[in-house]
Homo-oligomer: A and B are copies of this chain.
Amino acid sequence: MAKLPQEVGRPRGRPREFDLDEALDKAIRVFREQGYNATSIGDLTEAMGLASGSIYKAFKDKRTVFLAALDRYMLLRNEQIAAVARAARTARERLRAVLGFYVESAKGVEGRRGCMVVGSAIELAIADREVAARITAALSRNEALLADLIRQGQADRSIPGKIDPDETARVMICLTQGLRVVGRAGRAPADTSAAVDIAMKLLA
C-alpha cells in the first residue's frame, strides 16, 4: 500500500536555525577564493557562521560541502547566463551578450575571486570522479548553449551557414574558461567590447 499523501508538516526534531542556501553561498565565496584543499573546516566555520559540529550535522564531510557548493554555484551561474541571453533579441546579439558577460566576470575583484568550475577542473577533476562528472556536464552544457545560439544565428542569417557550430562552440568555450584563468591573475582584457568584437570574429 502506498502511504497516504501526508501533509508536509515540519520535520521531526529541532528545526535548523540557518538557511542552507545562505550558508552555501558563504562557502562558495571561500571555495572560489581559496580552492578546496586550501580551505580548512575552520575557514568554513568562520565564513558560514557555524560550529564544526553543525557543519557535520548538515553535511557528511568537507567534500560534501564542496559538492553542494559547486552545484549551487553552477545553478546560479546558469541562471545568470540564461537571463543575459534572454535579454538580447537576435541570436547574434545573444552571443555578444553571453561573451560580454564572461569577459565582465573575469575582470576586477570578481575575476580575482575566480570561477568554481575552472578551479574545480584544475584542482580536482583528476582526483575526484564526481567533481569530474560535474565539470564535464557543465562544460558540455555551456558548449551546447553556444552551439545552439550559433545555429539560431545561422537560421536567421546573422551568422554564416558555412561555419561548424559544434567546433566553433568548443573553441569559444576555451575562450571563456581562459578568461577566468587570466582574470584570476588580474590580466583580463580591459576593454570588454573590444575583446568581444575580436571574439565574435570566430563566427565569421
Contact = CB atoms under 8 A, between A and B. Distances in A.
Interface of A: 33-35, 37-38, 112, 114, 118-119, 121-123, 125-127, 132, 135-136, 139-140, 163-164, 167-168, 170-171, 173-182, 184-187, 189, 191, 194-195, 198-199, 201-202, 204
Nearest to A37: B37
A146 to B, nearest CB: 13
B122 A118 contact: yes
Given A178-B175, A181-B121, A127 B167 contact: no
A194 B174 contact: no
Nearest to A196: B171
Nearest to A203: B201
Number of copies: 2
A190 to B, nearest CB: 9
A181 B184 contact: no
B185 A136 contact: yes
Nearest to A113: B126
Contact of A122 (B179, B181, B191): B181
A169 to B, nearest CB: 10
